[in-house]
Amino acid sequence: MKKITILLLALSILLSSKSFASKLKVYSFDNSLIKVVIDNRVYTGFSRFVNLNRLSPGIHNIKILKLQPYGMRLNPKSKIAYRGIIRVPANSNVIVKLNRFRDLDIEITRYQNLCEQEYYNDNNICNSGIQNINNLLYIIDKASFDNDKLTIARQAVRQNGVYANQVLQIMDMFNFESTKLKFAKFAYKYCIDRNNYYMVNQGFSFNSSIKSLDNYIYRNF
């Protein structure tokens, strides 16, 4: 029980930080080629624009390297144009311009709702969750086999999005642990409130399923 509690807490922290991740765009005033290093991690090679789609909110160390003029052909050289810290709010779009004074001009736009960020389905329609969950559960329950139940659940989630508590309700309709795990992995991509996804672990009977879901989310999101 203690081990499960620790896993749930760790997963909760992980999902919370990723759910409220922000977007960061960095460029130079003169359109020079730059490279960005955040928290000692290098993002891509030299480029005129550096875009990060899932940066955790908080204070980060940032270093911007600038490719020196005429350095690309024979012996490319770079120099540090800026070194400091940057504060990234949660669920925001942050645009950073390196100005001519080797300082940063920062523009921050906070997303008012999830659909302003990235929570759209394949038809570019904003996901709002399954409106009639009881009707869906009834339809799933009528299916005889887990594979058929899974197909129905995936169709509904793919088109509407889903909340974490709805994922848990749907998981309860499956007979086998393996099917529950498959669905939990599939549904995470379409979950609207990922910071609450830790509650999904209540639907599993084995610790191995919790670990498998945790590893899947860590590797893919």
Question: Using CA atoms, how far apart are residues 7 and 26, in angstroms rounded to an integer?
Answer: 36
Q: Is residue 5 part of a domain?
A: no
Q: Residue 186 has which token pair?
A: 């599939």
Which 8-state DSSP code applies to residue 86? E
What's residue 10's pLDDT? 41
Q: Report how far apart, in Å, the C-alpha atoms of 16 and of each of 56, 94, 104, 158, 162 are.
A: 10, 19, 28, 22, 16
Band (pLDDT 50/70/90 cuts) for residue 15 is very low
Q: Is residue 73 part of a domain?
A: yes
CATH number at residue 32: 2.60.40
Residues 104 and 124 in one domain: no
- How many structural domains compose the chain? 2
Give tens-digit pLDDT for 31-63: 899 999 999 998 778 888 888 877 888 899 999
- Match 């600038």 to its residue by tokens: 66
Domain final residue, candidates 111, 133, 151: 111
- Structural domain of 135: 120-220
Residues 174 and 97 in one domain: no
Q: What is the mean pLDDT of the chain?
A: 82
Domain final residue, candidates 111, 141, 173: 111
Longest dimension (CA), the chain: 69
What's residue 76's pLDDT? 64
For a pLDDT cut of 90, what percent of the chain falls above it?
A: 50
Q: Residue 173 has which token pair?
A: 């309709």
Question: Using CA atoms, how far apart are residues 129 and 156, in angstroms rounded to an integer?
Answer: 9
Q: Residue 148 has which token pair?
A: 């058929």
Instruction: Please give the backbone phi and psi of residue 38, each rounded to the nearest 5 degrees, phi first.
Output: -120, 125
Looking at this protein, which amino acid is placed at residue 13?
I
Q: Is residue 166 part of a domain?
A: yes
Query: What pTM value is reported for the model?
Result: 0.48
Residues 77 and 135 in one domain: no
Q: Residue 91 has which token pair?
A: 């669920």
Residues 208 and 131 in one domain: yes
Q: Is residue 48 part of a domain?
A: yes
